[in-house]
Structure 1
Amino acid sequence: MAWCAACDWNVDPGQPEAPTGRLEILRHRLARQHGEKLLAEVTTDGPLRPGRDAAALLALVLALAVHGVTAVLLVGGLLLAVLGWGGGLPVLGALCLLVAWFLRPRFARLPEDEPVLRRAEAPELFALVDEIAATTGTTGVHAVSVVTDAYNASVSTYGLRRRRLLSIGLGLWESLTTEQRIALLGHELGHYANGDTRRGLIVGNALRSLNTWRYLLSPVEHPTPVETVFNFLYLLPRSAVTGALMALDHLTLRATQRGEYLADTFAARCGSTEAAVGMLDRLLVSESATAALLRESNSHRTRRTGAPADSNASRNGLWERLAAHMDSIPASEYERQRRCGALRGHSVDSTHPPTHLRRARLLATAALPAAVTMDTARRTALQAELKGARDTVARRVMNGR
């Protein structure tokens, strides 16, 4: 991107869309309020440690109240359906049961259409995850999903027993150095250690229930006269749901952003401060990786007639070409992206601190050496375990899926 480092001309040619809706506007306003103030706190207060404060306890109480409403609908619906005598009471009970079903706590499942790696299939990868987890003060995962080209990584839970799942997008993984990959895993596993309430069973499901309520009570656009009446009747409960969602956001958003800083500390502890900063820099240029993969896909699918539909040569070299492309990005582009992030602030993602602030926080503290390392033999073994996933995702990228 052509730009001027002296006057910031063209530093941010693509402005993000402004948030719409009361809830999104509130989230971005809260994120801006926390902003640099939170950065100053986490930089000067010494080592970050997970913990619960008054806001987290209030969020827990509010979440339990939300689940209490679901329980009342369930019990009330059963009583009305079973004990109701004629009239519309059984119908009302069935309606309450239906709403309670929609609002029930959900437990995520493993992807059914995509394979995942288990410990027996990738012992070296799981050993690395276990070592990094021990460094962050938590335990490892039960399954690893590495079957997407996403420029992202995440952790989650699945099933009633809340088993742990680590998801790694190969678009990001293959763009990082070995040390940066360790820092990435340290960051993601650090989320298990810091006790983020928004990811928890109670608060997380309460947020999901409130969003379901918003959907069920959303006004009908271009309503008929009858629908206009229902829109009016829904106004009060819809406002109450929106207010509860805003309150829960207000109580948890600051802790969520603080948790990102804490996860960055774990990233630096596991892979070194230098690797953690480098990993954050790679996140700044995610759009370039996405564009590179799209070019690879378009090039493959627009070959001349008669060429093989799925070239092993082009597929096998995809990730190496992506890594070479990311390594070719000049330092000036990273600087432009940092300035762009400073201009946009929290306007892109209200749940994460801006990347330039996370980077500044790591550089403002004492540099940490890597607590977890990998020798050549371990890297080779890890690469072999991921070969099947790399080939599968490369084939999907080349075929535009």
Structure 2
Amino acid sequence: MTETAQAVRAAGRGCPECGEPVAEGGRYVTWCAACDWNVDPEVRDEESPGRIERLRRRLAREYGEQLLADLTDPVAGGGADAHAPRPSPRGAAGWWAAVLASTIHGITVALFAGGLWLLVAYWGVGALPVLGGLSIGLAVVLRPRFGRLPKDDGRRVLLRRADAPRLYALLDEVAGAVGTSGVRAVVIDADVNASVSTYGLRQHRVLHIGLGLWETLSPQERIALLGHEFGHYAHGDTRHSLLVGGAFQSLDTWRYTLAPEPAHSLTEHFVNLVTALPRLLVDGLLVVLEHLTLRGSQRAEYLADSTAARTAGAEAAAGLMDRLLIGGSIAGELRREAVAARTRIGGAARREDPAQGLWERLAAHAASVPDHEYERLRRVAERRGHQVDSTHPPTHLRRRRLSRGTLGGAQIVLDAARAAEVDAELDGARRNVARELVRG
């Protein structure tokens, strides 16, 4: 039985496993950098993932390791990767994924056309029109979605080009450096995340900026974040396409529709039995589509990291990876601030407006995380296989690749004056989102 971290901290002794000196962790975990004693003391209470999610995570780890070995060129500083031709989103796997996705959408079209035919040709003939109506309804449920522009509801603030011209000028510059087009709208919220997605039939782009992440980044790390997100469109990630992305959406809807229900009667048992075979077929289609697209999607993530490194510098891109590692801590600090404000413990008791200075306090919290805690989190990430989600390569592999690159100059440098101008345009959104966050 090894000694606890509290005992080692109190006694000021070395590591109970190897005897090496152990740095005082303060409010963070006390651990040994020499042998990894106590590096991961937390007990995780996570819900067990389903079959498809387990498959995604396993493939993400396997492909992440393979692709890291394949993509050995420097990621910045004028290396070979910096001038590599833009990869095609196709290839054998990409074409087969497109064929399978087209087949899935074809089933939706067949359901609609067949239902319409039954409804028109057999109107008034038994139950056939009813079956046709059900078929049309199912096709409507399974139809590809084009996405909608989020509403400006306080928790989310929508900024158009006229609202933030300097921000949009920066976005246009980053998108141009990456080799793609900019966005039609920007949505600001409190998430510890950021993304570029599409909406509408014409697939206009919208940038989501989560202030929980944005406010903890340095100006250059913000450029790296934007370079990464625009990089997905520059490198042609098939899972971001309407065809393949819509097919995943349809299959997920099928799985939800066919999911077995708790059976309390003979009828419910019969329904679960009847839907078992279609459910297995849908799972099989999802597995095949995952195999066809996940490797290409992970390659696109690595290439988007390369884009971030070339745009902002590899050091800034690696710093962004570190911020992703403390995302849970940042989200926890936001929750603590919100609870303190609502219960008037500390937050509202000290300040007339608990939303005032929220983002500054969050940035200070992120900046206070010591280097030894980042190193611990990197090692924990390697043990657990930390990922942003199951479609991303493990975070520690992404950072390892960035750290192997030559730390060359950045294409875009966001100086203090320009960063202040962009912040000034975001000030109103920052206040509104902070106010709604503390109100709950």
Q: Smaller-chain TM-score range?
A: over 0.9
Aligned counterparts, 1:42-61, within 5 A: 42-44=71-73, 46-47=80-81, 49-51=86-88, 52-61=90-99
**Residue 20 of structure 1 aligns to which amino acid in structure 2?**
P
Shift of 1:138: 0.3
> What's 1:196 paired with?
237
Shift of 1:294: 2.0
Shift of 1:296: 1.8
> What's 2:363 paired with?
323
Shift of 1:290: 1.5
User: 1:104 and 1:116 mapped to 2: Cα distance?
Assistant: 27
1:303 and 2:353 matched: no
1:249-280 per-residue CA deviation (whole Å, 9 max, x = no partner) reads 11111111111111111111111111111111
1:141 and 2:178 matched: no
> What's 1:384 paired with?
424
| TM superposition score normalised by structure 1 | 0.94
User: 2:385 and 2:425 mapped to 1: Cα distance?
Assistant: 39
**Residue 62 of structure 2 aligns to which amino acid in structure 1?**
Q
Residue 355 of structure 2 aligns to a residue in which SS? helix
On the 8 A contact 2:387/2:395 being kept in 1, the answer is: no
> What's 2:38 paired with?
10
1:268-308 per-residue CA deviation (whole Å, 9 max, x = no partner) reads 11111111111111111112211222222222223279x78
Choose which of 285, 288, 310 in structure 1 pairs with 2:326.
285
User: 1:188 and 1:14 mapped to 2: Cα distance?
Assistant: 33
Change (3 A) 1:262 1:209: same
Shift of 1:91: 0.7
1:104 and 2:143 matched: yes
Residue 168 of structure 1 aligns to a residue in which SS? strand
1:133-161 per-residue CA deviation (whole Å, 9 max, x = no partner) reads 01100011000111x21111011001111
Choose which of 259, 272, 292 in structure 1 pairs with 2:313.
272
The CA RMSD over aligned residues, in Å, is 2.0
On the 8 A contact 1:180/1:279 being kept in 2, the answer is: yes
Change (3 A) 1:19 1:61: farther
> What's 2:284 paired with?
243
Which structure 2 residue ranges, 5 or more long, are not aligned? Answer: 1-28, 75-79
Residue 164 of structure 1 aligns to a residue in which SS? strand
User: 2:225 and 2:73 mapped to 1: Cα distance?
Assistant: 24
On the 8 A contact 1:198/1:204 being kept in 2, the answer is: yes
**Residue 126 of structure 1 aligns to which amino acid in structure 2?**
Y
Choose which of 296, 303, 307 in structure 2 pairs with 1:262.
303
Change (3 A) 1:91 1:285: same
Residue 396 of structure 1 aligns to a residue in which SS? helix
Shift of 1:248: 0.5
Residue 155 of structure 1 aligns to a residue in which SS? strand
> What's 1:127 paired with?
169
Shift of 1:41: 0.6
User: 2:345 and 2:136 mapped to 1: Cα distance?
Assistant: 59
> What's 1:39 paired with?
68
Change (3 A) 1:273 1:304: closer
User: 1:9 and 1:70 mapped to 2: Cα distance?
Assistant: 55
On the 8 A contact 2:194/2:208 being kept in 1, the answer is: yes
Moved more, 370-379 or 102-111: 370-379
1:187-229 per-residue CA deviation (whole Å, 9 max, x = no partner) reads 1111111111111111111111111111111112124111222
Shift of 1:44: 4.5
> What's 1:176 paired with?
217
> What's 1:214 paired with?
255
Choose which of 81, 87, 94 in structure 1 pairs with 2:126.
87
| TM superposition score normalised by structure 2 | 0.86
On the 8 A contact 2:248/2:286 being kept in 1, the answer is: yes
> What's 1:65 paired with?
103
Identity %: 54
Change (3 A) 1:73 1:162: same
Residue 297 of structure 1 aligns to a residue in which SS? helix
Which structure 1 residue ranges, 5 or more long, are not aligned? Answer: none
User: 1:299 and 1:100 mapped to 2: Cα distance?
Assistant: 48
User: 1:258 and 1:268 mapped to 2: Cα distance?
Assistant: 15
**Residue 234 of structure 1 aligns to which amino acid in structure 2?**
T
On the 8 A contact 2:258/2:279 being kept in 1, the answer is: yes
1:58-110 per-residue CA deviation (whole Å, 9 max, x = no partner) reads 00000000001001101000000011151111011011001001011111111
User: 1:57 and 1:242 mapped to 2: Cα distance?
Assistant: 21
Residue 386 of structure 1 aligns to a residue in which SS? helix
User: 1:204 and 1:19 mapped to 2: Cα distance?
Assistant: 25
1:110-142 per-residue CA deviation (whole Å, 9 max, x = no partner) reads 112333111111000000000000110001100
**Residue 28 of structure 1 aligns to which amino acid in structure 2?**
R
Name segments (4+ residues, structure 1) moved above 4 Å.
Answer: 307-310
**Residue 371 of structure 2 aligns to which amino acid in structure 1?**
A
